[in-house]
Structure 1
């Protein structure tokens, strides 16, 4: 029997945590309606962030730089998803987050 998971990644910033002109960027991983979020290493100014699309504004150098980082992050998380799927493990948002962060907390059984 073949099973499928719904899987998505989107990015957002936390304007309430803004300091020194930059807000932290968060990745939100969704698997089968369950979410896990994690703060990423990059920060961006609120004026360089496109709230509607969840990416940096491409008309700013800061936005372009962040978009490259977000693309790399999205690809890494997708690769972790594919690896877990190939290993026939139960994929949850938390197990995918742990695989990406390499914490070793494999919460799938």
Structure 2
């Protein structure tokens, strides 16, 4: 393995840290499932419909996304948020994160799938 490949490799500990939080997992589930850029409000609506987090209140979910989940996800190379258009998208839908996310989703209760 070249050092170039190694530098871009996703360490399991990094993947598990990203997926440890149910709200971050929920964002990733929705983004991976749609595969297209999504407005912030659409993301909230889909997360509430799928019950992928413990938040059932739109306002609380919006705050959690704004202050915790989205900053953590956008600090990675996997999710981009355009503040001007308020759209989120995966930077690489076929990324190294996908198998970890598939495993996490397979372990979730049926309602989140």
TM-score tier, shorter chain, comes to under 0.3
**Structure 2-normalised TM-score?**
0.27
Between Structure 1 and Structure 2, the one with more strand by share is 1
Between Structure 1 and Structure 2, the one with more helix by share is 2
Higher relative contact order (CA 8 A, sep 6+): 2
**Structure 1-normalised TM-score?**
0.27
